[in-house]
Amino acid sequence: MKIQLLVLICCVLILISCSKKDKVNPNTTQTSSFSFSTIFQDNMVIQRDKPLMLWGKAIVGDKVVVNVSWNTTPFYANTDVDGNWKVSIPASPVNSNPQTISASIEGKTPIMVSNILIGDVWICSGQSNMVMPVGPIAPFTGVLNYPDEIANANYPQIRAFTVITNSQASPVADLPNGSKWDICSPATVGNISAVAYFFARKLNTDLNVPIGVVVSAVNNTLCTQWMNKEAFLSTNDAAGGEYYNGMIAPLINLSVKGFIWYQGENDENQMVAATYTQLNTALINGWRTAFNQGALPFYYVQLAPFDNGQTGDATLDDIALFREGQALIRTNVTNSGMAVTMDIGDVLNHHPPNKKPVGERLALLALKNDYGKNVVAVGPQYSSFTVNNNTATISFATGTADGLTTGNNFPLNQYFFVAGTDQVLRQGKAVINGNTIIVTAPADTPLPIQTIRYAFTNFPITNLQNSAGLPAEPFRSGVLDVK
């Protein structure tokens, strides 16, 4: 009798279990095997004026039907042997009205992405100064005036996608789950990269176009860790690569407008400047090849003044040499530009809080070069100097030094050094003269003046700028064996 009762109880439990299984949504498993790539989510921005590549996963043999709200034509894709599907949607002009994308397979629950805007998408990469958010999130203390910046960040046409850190030994097809698109608002902006936000805000307010920023950056990373394998081969470098594999490679099918980059702090002590010039050049060329969208614009940030190791020695110039290596990237790479930060650094902080000018200066480069706006995008750039006895007149590249002045009309910071025939650097006395600078050599300088340097040390906070408020670039007029 006890055995019969036990059998009866077991049968009842089995029936209950089967009943529960019958009540599970039959599409749950099927839906989980049918998906868009992680980048395609609600609230995203897609790139205008370029074909939109959509891709995802399904069961091998499935036929996917894709519909987009801005085009009445359905689009079809077949899965490959690994269950990947991909479809190309024709280019669309800018559209600030919310749009949708839906994909379906017969017998399965359709999947949908909604509240999409069509505008421009920029990938924002690098290390901690690109990661640094608007708000005070450890280890960062927040940008300058962050309470006001957060309170006023009501820009619904700006959308940000922050990629979760993902290191991989070889390229992967998709980003890690958990990354999502955020609509820019006081509730979300505190977590968004400050440089990316200020960059996007400047573009959005000047162009009235939706802007999407995909922030793929990691603290304390090297340039080599963001390079693809092909770029390594071009430089004979066999190290790094892992963040490219996990955080850039999954994006290469995404149509984008261009890239912004803030990196170099980790490399400044590990290589000579020429090596960084070569590596960053290879990175840019490698990314452009991988994305296969032509010479996509690449704008980057020159390192700010910083007393690395807090030495207090104002004559050291190792970071100045590294900045020079960064500046030379523009010579190697077409459609690139550099934002200068010599006036907004913090001598004792590698993460200066004044990030608004950084993002806006990157945006000015894009506005001028990619959007055809009549704006001044760079500060004074050294061209040449002429000598008259104990003075030298510094001239700048045409159009970069109009209306030379100083920040807040303060006295000119005297970061000008000259060397005479003995090749010894001495600090000169500089004055603004129209669109030029006149530097007077110290009395003990053996004439004639042979070389000039400006702000060519590790941590000079400068204030020389043009009428647009953009700082003069540091320079040395020639390479001498100076003492």
Residue 6 has pLDDT above 50, yes or no: no
Q: Are 56 and 110 a contacting pair, CB within 8 Å? A: no
Calpha distance 444→163 (Å, rounded): 57
Q: What is the mean pLDDT of the segment spanning 302-328?
A: 94
The rounded Cα 315 to chain-centroid distance in angstroms is 31
Of the residues 309, 337, 369, the one at which a domain ends:
369
- Indicate whether 19 belongs to any domain: no
Task: Choose the weakest-confidence range: 63-72, 268-277, 385-394, 449-458.
Answer: 268-277
Q: Do 305 and 416 fall within a single domain?
A: no
**Over the stretch 27-74, which tens digit does the pLDDT of each residue have?**
222 345 899 999 999 999 999 999 999 999 999 999 999 999 999 999
Q: Do 439 and 353 fall within a single domain?
A: no
Residue 360 has pLDDT above 70, yes or no: yes
Q: Do 356 and 402 fall within a single domain?
A: no
Of the residues 342, 369, 396, the one at which a domain ends:
369
Q: What is the mean pLDDT of the segment spanning 336-356?
A: 97
The domain of 411 spans 382-476
- Whole-number pLDDT of residue 354: 98
- Whole-number pLDDT of residue 470: 98
**Over the stretch 224-248, which tens digit does the pLDDT of each residue have?**
999 998 887 777 665 568 999 999 9
- Indicate whether 71 belongs to any domain: yes
- Whole-number pLDDT of residue 382: 98
Calpha distance 130→436 (Å, rounded): 34
Residue 351 corresponds to which amino acid?
H
Q: Do 140 and 240 fall within a single domain?
A: yes
Residue 25 has pLDDT above 80, yes or no: no
Q: Do 73 and 130 fall within a single domain?
A: no
Question: Taking all residues of the chain, what is their mean pLDDT, rounded to a whole number?
Answer: 92
- Whole-number pLDDT of residue 65: 97
- Indicate whether 453 belongs to any domain: yes
